[in-house]
Amino acid sequence: MHSFMCEAALFPNLVRVSPRRWLNLQEYQSKKLMQDSGVTVQHFFVADTASEALEAAKRLKAKEIVLKAQILAGGRGKGVFDSGLKGGVHLTKDPVVVGELAGKMLGFNLTTKQTPKEGVKVKTVMVAEALDISRETYFAILMDRSCNGPVMVGSPQGGVDIEEVAATTPELIFKEVIDIFEGVRDDQALRMAANLGFKGPLERQAADQIKRLYDLFLKVDATQVEVNPLGETPEGQVVCFDAKINFDDNAEFRQKAVFAMDDTAESDPLETEAAKYDLKYIGLDGNIACFVNGAGLAMATCDIIDLHGGKPANFLDLGGGVKENQVYVAFKLLTADPKVEAILVNIFGGIVNCAIIANGITKACRELELKVPLVVRLEGTNVQEAKRILSESGLPITSASDLDDAAKKAVAAIAKK
């Protein structure tokens, strides 16, 4: 449902907070957060066993029940389980069937277009009341730099890719700038509800849901709350059927309960380990590991490696306040990847002290007994001292004069092997 393309299409000045790692919440967890803020969602229960799913289905006393496998990857509806069951989302009117289907989901791997080839093991299912939707709309609250704060965006065209709506029918995208001190005013909420196509009593009901969603946005320190669809039922209810919430990682210290729900089971283990040390790591499919400070420099390093015929194995950003121990951990992570055949260190020290990097490099090389070629380019704060540390270490480290030289030497080092 959600994509960064959507944000870019709607808000070119969108603030992108640079997180240590995206906080991952399962669907039922996002629904619980909304429910706790008074937002209307389907009645639901969570189950870890087939018998719990059966009991939950009975307790719902719903005309129709929807059973959903809880994994982070998209495309569940068209996924396949290694139990033979097709589809991670099922509708039924019989609670007994819910128990039977849950038995073919729980403990089995579900493979979708977004999972690894082996799929992801399903440990939890959500048993929810199935509601008919007579009309679907789109609604989101997100941060926009040009407005110095949050903005509401909505469209009467929901349940589809919002970037497609923005590109083909931009007149169906409506925006309301929120004053961070006043919050969402009644007239703004009502105007947005009307623009979304809600009429009569539903307009007031939708406006109330919009205000509650903004309360949630503030309460959990979100950078985005996106509801697609915000739907209307034949019975005259406005319901948030599906939502994506992004959180500001800088607020973790006061959102401990939210961050404690983080599900890392489906994340890259190296990425998860890196996050523990405030390192930003993204695995790629090449063989030259990149060890860089600053996201922009990291991207440039990857590009220049590619330009010289190499392929980056990762995107690893140390950030500004790096310590010697983080350098050691970074090397440990890089060498844990069996694809890595060379390491390129590219540091431009402004905030970063190059001597700290150099000490970390020499310690890591000795203690980890580095077996792959290492190319180092250092520039900036305390660089002469850093170069002295490296040259006197007696370690087989290749120095580079600039980024272009470093990339050439890293690619050449692999070619010689």
Task: Encode the chain (417 residues) as per-residue pLDDT tens digits.
Answer: 334 334 445 554 443 333 344 577 889 999 999 999 999 999 999 999 999 999 999 999 999 999 999 998 888 999 999 999 999 999 999 999 999 999 999 999 999 988 888 999 999 999 999 999 999 999 999 999 888 899 999 999 998 878 889 999 999 999 999 999 999 999 999 999 999 999 999 999 999 999 999 999 999 999 999 999 999 999 999 999 988 898 988 898 999 999 888 876 666 677 777 778 778 888 898 999 999 998 889 999 999 999 999 999 998 888 767 788 899 999 999 998 999 999 999 998 787 899 999 999 999 999 999 999 999 999 999 999 999 999 999 999 999 999 999 999 999 999 876
Confidence at residue 3, expressed as pLDDT on a 0 to 100 scale: 40
Annotated ligand binding at 314? The verdict is no
CA distances from 49 to 56, 94, 110, 199 (A): 11, 17, 16, 42
Given its phi and psi angles, is residue 382 left (phi above 0), alpha (psi -120 to 50 degrees) or beta? Answer: left
- Concerning whether 138 is annotated as a catalytic residue, the answer is yes
- Please tell me which residue in 27, 136, 176, 226 is annotated as part of the active site: 226
State the fold for domain 135-260.
D-amino Acid Aminotransferase; Chain A, domain 1 (3.30.470)
Confidence at residue 8, expressed as pLDDT on a 0 to 100 scale: 47
416/194 Cα distance (integer angstroms): 67
Annotated ligand binding at 242? The verdict is yes
- Please tell me which residue in 28, 138, 277, 328 is annotated as part of the active site: 138
122/31 Cα distance (integer angstroms): 18
- Concerning whether 367 is annotated as a catalytic residue, the answer is no
Confidence at residue 74, expressed as pLDDT on a 0 to 100 scale: 80
Task: Please state the pTM of the whole predicted model.
Answer: 0.69
Contact 295, 18 (CB under 8 A): yes
Instruction: Indicate where the chain has its CATH 3.40.50.261 domain(s).
Output: 269-415
Annotated ligand binding at 77? The verdict is yes
Annotated ligand binding at 293? The verdict is yes
Q: What six digits make up the tokens of 376?
A: 């180092």
Annotated ligand binding at 228? The verdict is yes
Annotated ligand binding at 303? The verdict is no
Annotated ligand binding at 76? The verdict is yes
Angle (deg, nearest 10), helices 354-367 and 383-391: 20
Reply yes or no on domain 269-415 having CATH 3.40.50.261. yes
Annotated ligand binding at 350? The verdict is yes
Annotated ligand binding at 227? The verdict is no
User: Degrees (nearest 5) of the Cα angle 153, 16, 8?
Assistant: 50
CATH second-level architecture of 43-129? 2-Layer Sandwich (3.30)
Instruction: Indicate where the chain has its CATH 3.30.1490.20 domain(s).
Output: 43-129
Annotated ligand binding at 70? The verdict is no
Annotated ligand binding at 75? The verdict is yes
SS (H, E, C) the chain: CCCHHHHHHHCCCECCCCCCCCCCCCHHHHHHHHHHCCCCCCCEEEECCHHHHHHHHHHHCCCCEEEEECCCCCCHHHCEECCCCECCEEEECCHHHHHHHHHCCCCCEEECCCCCCCCEECCCEEEEECCCCCEEEEEEEEEEHHHCEEEEEEECCCCCCHHHHHHHCHHHCEEEECECCCECCHHHHHHHHHHCCCCCHHHHHHHHHHHHHHHHHHHCCEEEEEEEEEEECCCCCEEECCEEEEECHHHHHHCHHHHCCCCCCCCCHHHHHHHHCCCEEEECCCCEEEEECCHHHHHHHHHHHHHCCCCECEEEECCCCCCHHHHHHHHHHHHHCCCCCEEEEEEEECCCCHHHHHHHHHHHHHHCCCCCCEEEEEEECCHHHHHHHHHCCCCCEEECCCHHHHHHHHHHHHHHC
Instruction: Indicate where the chain has its CATH 3.30.470.20 domain(s).
Output: 135-260
Confidence at residue 128, expressed as pLDDT on a 0 to 100 scale: 97
User: What single letter denotes the amino acid at residue 249?
Assistant: D
Confidence at residue 10, expressed as pLDDT on a 0 to 100 scale: 54
